[in-house]
Amino acid sequence: MGMIGGSLEAFIGAVHRRGSQLDGEIELVCGAFSSNPEKSKATGEALYLNPSRVYGSYEEMILKEKELPEGERMDFVSIVTPNHVHFPAAKMALENGFHVVCDKPATLNLAEAKELKTIIDKSGLIFALTHNYTGYPMVKEAKAMVDAGDLGEIRKIIVEYPQGWLIDLVEATGQKQADWRTDPARCGAAGAIGDIGTHAENLVEYITGLHITELCADLTIFVDGRKLDDDGNILLHYNNGAKGLLHCSQICNGEENDLNVRIYGTKAGISWKQMDPNTLIVRTRDDGARIVRTNVGKLSANAMAHTRQPAGHPEGYVETFANIYRNFSMALRARWEGKEADPIYDFPGIEEGIRGMAFIENVVRSANDHQNKWTKFEI
Amino acid sequence: MGMIGGSLEAFIGAVHRRGSQLDGEIELVCGAFSSNPEKSKATGEALYLNPSRVYGSYEEMILKEKELPEGERMDFVSIVTPNHVHFPAAKMALENGFHVVCDKPATLNLAEAKELKTIIDKSGLIFALTHNYTGYPMVKEAKAMVDAGDLGEIRKIIVEYPQGWLIDLVEATGQKQADWRTDPARCGAAGAIGDIGTHAENLVEYITGLHITELCADLTIFVDGRKLDDDGNILLHYNNGAKGLLHCSQICNGEENDLNVRIYGTKAGISWKQMDPNTLIVRTRDDGARIVRTNVGKLSANAMAHTRQPAGHPEGYVETFANIYRNFSMALRARWEGKEADPIYDFPGIEEGIRGMAFIENVVRSANDHQNKWTKFEI
Amino acid sequence: MGMIGGSLEAFIGAVHRRGSQLDGEIELVCGAFSSNPEKSKATGEALYLNPSRVYGSYEEMILKEKELPEGERMDFVSIVTPNHVHFPAAKMALENGFHVVCDKPATLNLAEAKELKTIIDKSGLIFALTHNYTGYPMVKEAKAMVDAGDLGEIRKIIVEYPQGWLIDLVEATGQKQADWRTDPARCGAAGAIGDIGTHAENLVEYITGLHITELCADLTIFVDGRKLDDDGNILLHYNNGAKGLLHCSQICNGEENDLNVRIYGTKAGISWKQMDPNTLIVRTRDDGARIVRTNVGKLSANAMAHTRQPAGHPEGYVETFANIYRNFSMALRARWEGKEADPIYDFPGIEEGIRGMAFIENVVRSANDHQNKWTKFEI
Amino acid sequence: MGMIGGSLEAFIGAVHRRGSQLDGEIELVCGAFSSNPEKSKATGEALYLNPSRVYGSYEEMILKEKELPEGERMDFVSIVTPNHVHFPAAKMALENGFHVVCDKPATLNLAEAKELKTIIDKSGLIFALTHNYTGYPMVKEAKAMVDAGDLGEIRKIIVEYPQGWLIDLVEATGQKQADWRTDPARCGAAGAIGDIGTHAENLVEYITGLHITELCADLTIFVDGRKLDDDGNILLHYNNGAKGLLHCSQICNGEENDLNVRIYGTKAGISWKQMDPNTLIVRTRDDGARIVRTNVGKLSANAMAHTRQPAGHPEGYVETFANIYRNFSMALRARWEGKEADPIYDFPGIEEGIRGMAFIENVVRSANDHQNKWTKFEI
């Protein structure tokens, strides 16, 4: 693996490194950790990389690695930069024969995401998108329950993603995470909606298989001086007739990272919270509620395939990245061995990326339309 | 107290009786418990009432009681009938000199509520509306915190009221609670919105003092054969610029009675859940979270005035009715003694009733408008 | 009902009044609320009693009421005094033909409790002991599950009752609750063990039907100047071979009233917490966990018989007293009507009182024995 | 790092590998993964090790690695075998110049642990013991609070470790984890007490700095055919006068891995649960309760030094091992660089190992003594 972005001061780069290394299947062999060569070099040193494989730009890395003999050169790139670099870096990697793991959202805008799909399809290479929250065992279990019909027909879906870290103008303090996430040039047309709203949208679509058909959005910038939405409330209609709500925010004072979802069907309702990720509650009116827990009792094959510890030994955030990297490495290996990848070891790809970018653009379009109630979800 | 409605098979009548009797300040002396005289009589017997004061209709009760000597006749009526009887019964009671406690929502429609206010004002009598959920000590504490500025400027409000008891056509089975609550002639223009949505709206307005200025509603009837909404999702704008979400439902499979509210301000965020009513969580980004509990540590005078037990001895639903009845009886006593009522012992009245009826009508209007996004909140 | 003790400044008297009046089946007609006649009188006035039936002593009350005609005089006494008055008041009431409801623990010591049983048996009257915590619906459900064999053979029982209100010498401040509960002359041989440990012991014996056969106790007085234990840890052996732990404390800083119990059997384990009383968790290794909730789904007849509200409308502490008083009144009525009382409407009596007093004495004996490990549980 | 034990079918070996690799500071370079050379070889292959450094025994590994040039040979061994191999493997590694990380409990018995300390002291090498649960950030915070005096004088300590996986004779099914953990020859004198009770004991001593002075233990074998205790209840006295309870069990049906601790002092009480590890509750009688959370607000340097993610991104079990390995690697590096290790980056060593072995032996001695109540804690 070669990493693009992820210098020492970044947050998500270290997460990708830990996730990719957890299972001992992937080795970090090179990197272009920063557009600042000094920073890239310092990061490479801290990671004990061979200095000759620490590059000053991703372009350099891709070209130089390509010249290395097969078996020695990196097999794929991991892109962990701000959003605006996703597309050019992924494009160049794919066009030079490298598979790609990319942080979400896929690209800077929908057009790029569609173009990226064309490039991927043409390349025949593997592309993984780290919508990590669907990597939790209990999210896998929720999906398996929906697939098995345990919820009956789905009627109502509430998905929330409140955070509170941007209650004031953190970006003015030089805090790196806040800096680019609030800058349209680097993060795209939306703030909270792009950064966390897409996770919420992806989570629902992953579990239920439903698609949004129309929506009505109300976005707000609460903090003076901020350029992009820090709060959003959205009414949703799904393609089976279900109704939904999605809200996400970065100004919910004191909230940490409370992604959560409730899905109600004719037979049962389920709820799951990212901050208590090894618990899935299943409720029914007539038979009461069950607590489904990671590695307790009989669970779906999909849930078990993403569980590492015995019951009660908490698995958390880093394992969700590990699950994507592990599954991606299994897909690579299957390809090398000429086998079919096992669908139980799933991971998000460009289709999810396109839907996420479309979500952002449709939400922003709806929010900017103060007259018409419903905005058709267009891709 | 004389009760109108509340025969043995009703749910809310028994709640009012228990709440009114809990503190030993109020005595049930007469009743017209049903429009069916046999049922009324049977209820009166079960309640050990003097048979001569068990009436076949509220009209009879009001007129007969009025003829009794002062000190012997009932002091006030408690109206616990389906909604369509609220207005005529309250009107007749007031016009004959009896104070009124009335279940919510205030009336069948907004026009009646406004007219009722005129009648109340003219009568000079006391009218209490049993929006009971604001009677919990921790709701009082939340209001006191907002009033003291502990939350700073309020930015976002999420209020939810999911239930699951109407996931199928319960009203077709003869179940009495479902029967009238789904019948427009007896409950008004809305189903879930009127029955429980008004509690949610009232809870927010009580705690924050904010008013809705415009809204965008999406109501649904999920169960075939049902006549009124069993689910609603609403975007809200408040008069200080805060944004909000309200959703309520009676088809959230497995949910019991999960009224809950989260309010986020510039200084802190709070959350409260009716099903864990003695806990109020206060969160801040920079100083972490506190658990505020009924009768633990230093609390507001308002919270303490509505607490009966030492810490950790759960107070629940019946106490919320008791708080309204107790405060109403204190207001009556203050009047008799020519004193000012102490504002700490507050209870909802016709103003809250009017706002609740306006909420229903504005929501239904918005839901029926599939074109325009925002509906001004009009009273 | 005539009340003995329970003046305005007492805690438990008001609880008994509210509990007894909640269902409208019992009327407070007289009282000897304090050994101080002025206080008794003031309490009677505040409760709107006929002054002629507010007495200066329980002896006076019993004798005067006895002279009133049947149908007019009180039917039973409710004894809510400090412990040392329980026995003489109950004895006199019974010997003069009045049934008795008595707060726990039954008496000042085991000898009194045994004598009281003899008196009750001789009188043929009804005696109820307000071990109220077994009145919760989910405790009834737990008992029903054990009775049905759902837990299999019981192996381990952990019961806890931590409180924190006596972390310092509150009794020196004149606080009335602390005052008599820490005075051996009025509360008996134990402090925390008598006041709350007996609730814990009773809760386990009620749910499981098991009896303690031997125990090993470690009692402590943590607060200087205190005369009785404010903390206790006890190892227990039960008559079926189960092992147990009981600990109770009044110096667990910040704990409110956290009575809780966990019972593990060969087939399942259950847990219940008084501060979240409407929830019962049932766990199994192989089939995961269930959340059993008051009035949700199919519950035992016993649980349903002690439930007043629909699901999700919290029932709490006052209802546990109401359940004992309601059941006691049903037993009285059954007797008057010459019928058998329905065993579903159960309440604790003198047998539980004797076991509670024996528990106190055995624990104190064990705690005072620093040599021998196991103390046989003797009655 | 060279690993001793930890073949593919083992549980704890994979945990150590993941934990040691999470931060990219440690590389697994060799291993003797099983006493069965075929299994060892297969494990080495699966881990992509150089076959020449996959050994058939730890003796072979230690001797062969010693011959490799410095910089190439392993720096330390990680011992993840059943208990009976800990001592000989650690001894040989130390005597041949290799530092040691060892799973807990330290050895098969107390005598071995003491001898191991002598060997370590003589070698001047570093020894880490993976009592991993003290590696959680909120356990670090709890310790920091105690050290800062925030709890005042500690009075009462309750520590629990219930599991339910051994409710029947799992060891008879060939399940590898159960197999050796219930065999005295491989795990030592105690079952549950050694496997999990030592974690509970270590957790309390780590947070509070207190030592047990005497104890009274009740151990049970509930499952027919089992050779060692599967349940234990223990009364404890600490060296400051605090009283405690420790219970642990592997027959608590449905419990997963519920290590938890409550510590009550004169100023505050705290509680922490391993299954919700990023939350620490601090309670006071007079000022209510606080929720302290990983990476929220102002925390101790020690807690922050063991935190990898932003608030609300759950850190779990694997991070606790990573913390020990990371700190161990920092200590190694400090030594190589001739610096003092920073005490904030602490990890358990042989002192904790000796105390743990002494705990086991004292508990077993007390349990076997049915006459004397208190057993002095001897080392």
- Tens of pLDDT along A284-325? 999 999 999 999 999 999 999 999 999 999 999 999 999 999
Cα separation, A215 vs A238, whole angstroms: 9
Tokens describing residue A321: 């990245």
Measure D373 CA to nearest chain C CA, in Å.
4
Find chains touching chain C: ≥3 CB pairs under 8 Å. Answer: A, B, D
Inter-chain residue contact B291 with D289, CB threshold 8 Å: yes
Residues C251, D264 contacting (CB under 8 angstroms): yes
State how far residue C284 is from chain A, nearest Cα, in angstroms. Answer: 8
Token pair for D51: 């076959």
Q: Render the burial of B204-239: b for 16+ CB within 10 Å, e for the rest.
A: bbbbbebebebbbbbbbbbbeebebbbbbbbbbbbe
Pairing of strands A279-284, C269-273: unpaired
Those residues with Cβ within 8 angstroms of residue B332's Cβ, 6 or more apart along the chain or in another chain:
B75, B76, B99, B126
Cβ contacts of C67 within 8 Å, gap of 6 or more: C73
Tens of pLDDT, residue by residue over A107-154, are 999 999 999 999 999 999 999 999 999 999 999 999 999 999 999 999
**Which of A373, A374, A375, A376 would best serve as a mutation to test chain B binding (most B beta carbons within 10 A)?**
A373
Query: What is the bridge-based pairing of β-strands D99-102 and D127-129?
Result: parallel
Residue C368, min C-alpha distance to chain B (Å): 31
**Could you say which of D233, D235, D284 has the minimum Cβ distance to residue C243?**
D233
pLDDT, residue B249, reads 98
pLDDT the model gives residue D174? 84
Where do we find the tokens 């169960």?
A: B223
The pLDDT score that the predictor gives to residue B155 is 98
Rg of chain D in Å (alpha carbons): 21
Report the greatest alpha carbon distance in chain C. Answer: 65
In this predicted model, what pLDDT tens digit does every residue of A149-205 receive, in sequence order?
999 999 999 999 999 999 999 999 988 888 888 899 998 999 999 999 999 999 999
Residue B229, CA distances (Å) to A344, A374, B197, B217, B252 in order: 40, 19, 11, 12, 13
Against chain A, the chains showing at least 3 CB pairs within 8 Å are B, C, D
pLDDT computed for residue B178 by the predictor:
85
**pLDDT tens track for B51-99:** 999 999 999 999 999 999 998 999 999 999 999 999 999 999 999 999 9
Would you call C165 and B310 a contact, using CB atoms and an 8 Å cutoff? yes
Q: Which of B264, B366, B368, B369 has the most A C-beta neighbours within 10 Å, making it the best mutation to test the interface with A?
A: B264
Place of tokens 């590990």: A322
Q: Which residues of A touch B254 (CB under 8 A)?
A: 264, 268-269, 282-285, 288-289
Interatomic CA distance for residues B101 and B104, integer angstroms: 10
Q: Could you say which of A155, A252, A285 has the minimum Cβ distance to residue B222?
A: A155
Measured between alpha carbons, how far is D295 from A176 in angstroms, rounded to an integer? 17
Interchain proximity D291–B293, CB inside 8 Å: no
CA distances from B321 to B29, B193, C29, C313, D329 (A): 18, 21, 25, 12, 63
Give pLDDT, residue D6: 95
Give chain C positions within 8 Å (CB) of D212: none
Band (pLDDT 50/70/90 cuts) for residue D180 is: confident
Q: How confident is the model at residue D182 (pLDDT cuts 50, 70, 90)?
A: confident
Using alpha carbons only, give the angle C185, C187, C190 rounded to the nearest 5 degrees: 105
> Containing H/E element for B128?
strand B127-129
Which parts of chain B sit beneath pLDDT 50?
Answer: none
Chains that touch D (3 or more CB pairs under 8 A): A, B, C
**Number of Cβ atoms within 10 Å of the Cβ of A339:** 11
Using the beta-carbon criterion (under 8 Å), do C235 and D235 form an inter-chain contact?
yes
> Which pLDDT score is estimated for D178?
85
pLDDT at A65: 98
**Cβ separation of C291 and A286 shorter than 8 Å?**
no
CA-CA distances (angstroms) from residue C172 to C16, C175, C247? 27, 7, 25
Tell me what pLDDT residue B180 has.
86
Which residues in chain C are closer than 8 Å to A293, comparing Cβ atoms?
288-289
Nearest CA in chain A to D296: A256
pLDDT at residue number D175:
86
CA distance D295 to chain B (A): 10
Mean pLDDT score of chain C: 97
| Residue C310: how many other CB atoms lie within 10 Å | 17
Q: Are C267 and C152 in contact (CB under 8 A)?
A: yes
Place of tokens 């807690």: D303
Average pLDDT score over residue span A37-57: 96
pLDDT in tens, D336-379: 999 999 999 999 999 999 999 999 999 999 999 999 999 999 99
| Closest chain B C-alpha to D313 CA, distance in angstroms | 15
- Tokens 């693996």 appear where? A1
pLDDT tier at D9 (50, 70, 90 boundaries)? Answer: confident
Mark out the alpha helices in B124-223 (DSSP H runs).
Answer: 137-147, 176-181, 184-187, 192, 198-208
pLDDT at D145 over 90: yes
Q: What is the DSSP string of C298-320?
A: S--HHHHTT--S-TTS---HHHH
Q: What is the dihedral of CA C341, C343, C346, C352, to 10 degrees?
A: 100
Digit-coded pLDDT (tens) for A242-261: 999 999 999 999 999 999 99
Confidence of residue A10 (pLDDT cuts 50, 70, 90): confident
* Residue (of B166, B142, B136, B139) closest to B232 by Cα position: B166
Bridge pairing between strands D279-284 and D288-293: antiparallel
d(CA B232, CA B246): 8
Question: How many secondary structure helices (H) and strands (E) does chain A include?
Answer: 13, 14
Q: Which of B198, B132, B119 is nearest to B346 (CA)?
A: B132
Task: Please tell me the distance from the alpha carbon of residue C22 to that of residue C324, in angstroms, as a whole number.
Answer: 11
Residues of chain B with Cβ-Cβ distance to D285 below 8 Å are 296-297
- Bridge-based pairing of strands B243-249 and B260-265 is unpaired
Candidates B258, B293, B315; nearest CB to C317: B315
d(CA A62, CA A64): 6
- Tens-binned pLDDT, residue by residue, of chain C (379 aa): 999 999 998 889 999 999 999 999 999 999 999 989 999 999 999 999 999 999 999 999 999 999 999 889 999 999 999 999 999 999 999 999 999 999 999 999 999 999 999 999 999 999 999 999 999 999 999 999 999 999 999 999 999 999 999 999 999 998 888 888 889 999 899 999 999 999 999 999 999 999 999 999 999 999 999 999 999 999 999 999 999 999 999 999 999 999 999 999 999 999 999 999 999 999 999 999 999 999 999 999 999 999 999 999 999 999 999 999 999 999 999 999 999 999 999 999 999 999 999 999 999 999 999 999 999 999 9
Locate B114 and state its tokens. 């406004």
- Portion of chain D with pLDDT greater than 70, in percent: 100
CB contact under 8 A, C289 and A290: yes
Q: Give the Cα separation of B138 and B279 in Å (integer).
A: 7
Chain A contacts of B238, Cβ < 8 Å? none
Yes or no: say if B247 and B232 are a contact pair by the CB < 8 Å rule: yes
pLDDT at A179: 86
Say if the Cβ atoms of C253 and D235 lie within 8 Å. no
Under a CB-based contact definition with an 8 Å cutoff, are residues D211 and C194 in contact? no
Q: Say yes or no for a CB contact (<8 Å) between C297 and A288.
A: yes
Confidence (pLDDT) at D360: 98
Give the ipTM: 0.96
Q: Which residue from B22, B274, B313 is facing C317, i.e. has the nearest CB?
A: B313
Counted residue by residue, chain C has a size of 379
> Chain B residue closest to A262 (CA)?
B252
Nearest Cβ partner for D291 among B288, B293, B297: B288
**Ordered DSSP codes for A4-24:** ES--TT-SHHHHHHHHHHTTS
To the nearest whole angstrom, how far is the Cα of B27 from the nearest Cα of chain A? 37
Using the beta-carbon criterion (under 8 Å), do B163 and C312 form an inter-chain contact? yes
CB contacts of D289 in chain B (<8 Å) are: 290-291, 293, 296
User: So what's the pLDDT on residue C253?
Assistant: 98
Best mutation site among D9, D23, D138, D275 for testing chain A: the one with the most A CBs within 10 Å?
A: D275
Q: Is residue A83 over pLDDT 90?
A: yes
Which of B251, B268, B283 is opposite residue A155, by nearest beta carbon? B251
Write out the two tokens for B371: 């074109």
Other Cβ atoms less than 10 A from the Cβ of B51: the count is 8
* Averaged pLDDT, A209-230: 98
Closest in C293, C311, C317 to B309, CB measured = C317
CB contact set of D232 (below 8 Å; sequence gap of 6+): D192, D193, D197, D217, D218, D219, D220, D246, D247, D248, D249, D363, D367
CB contacts of C311 in chain B (<8 Å) are 165, 256-257
Residue B245's φ and ψ, nearest 5 degrees, are -130, 140
Torsion angle in degrees (nearest 10) through CA of D52, D58, D62, D68: 10
Q: What is the CA radius of gyration of chain A?
A: 21
Is residue B297 within 8 A of residue D288, CB to CB? The reply is: yes
> Cis link prior to B105 (omega < 30° from 0)?
yes
Q: Across the interface, do D289 and B287 touch by the CB < 8 Å criterion?
A: no
In tens, the pLDDT along C287-300 reads 999 999 999 999 99
* Residue B18 · residue C23 · CB < 8 Å: yes
Q: Quick check: helix, strand or coil at residue B281?
A: strand
What domains can be seen in chain C, in order of their start residue? 2-129 (3.40.50.720), 136-307+353-367 (3.30.360.10)
SS3 (DSSP) at D339: coil
Chain C environment of A300 (Cβ under 8 Å):
none
∠C367-C373-C375 over CA atoms, to 5°? Answer: 65
For residue A342, what is the DSSP state? P
Asked if A157 and A236 count as a contact pair (C-beta separation under 8 A), the reply is yes
Indicate yes or no: CB of B312 within 8 angstroms of CB of C276. no
Read off the pLDDT of each residue in D110-126 and give the average, rounded to a whole number: 98
Mean pLDDT of the residues in chain A: 97
DSSP H or E run through C137:
helix C137-147
Asked whether the beta carbons of residue D297 and residue B281 sit closer than 8 angstroms, the reply is no
Q: Quick one: average pLDDT of D313-328? A: 98
**CA nearest to B262 within chain A:** A252
Residues A347-354 have a mean pLDDT of: 98
Neighboring chain D residues of B297 at a CB cutoff of 8 Å = 284-288
Angle at C114 between CA C110 and CA C116, to 5 degrees: 115
* For testing contact with chain D, the best of A21, A256, A319 (most D CBs within 10 A): A256
Residue D188's pLDDT is what? 92
Residues in Cβ contact with B271 at an 8 Å cutoff, skipping those fewer than 6 apart = B260, B261, B262, B263, B280, B281, B283
**Among A321, A164, A199, A256, residue whose Cα is nearest residue D312:** A256
**Which site among D284, D290, D292, D298 would you substitute to test the B interface, given the most B Cβ atoms closer than 10 Å to its Cβ?**
D290
Give the pLDDT confidence score for residue A175 in this predicted structure. 87
Contact in structure between D6 and D12 (CB atoms under 8 Å): yes
Residue D11, pLDDT above cutoff 90: no
Q: Which residues of B touch A257 (CB under 8 A)?
A: none
Q: Is the pLDDT reported for residue D299 higher than 90?
A: yes
C260 CB-contact burial (10 Å; exposed 0-12 / middle 13-18 / buried 19+): middle
What pLDDT is attached to residue C177?
Answer: 82
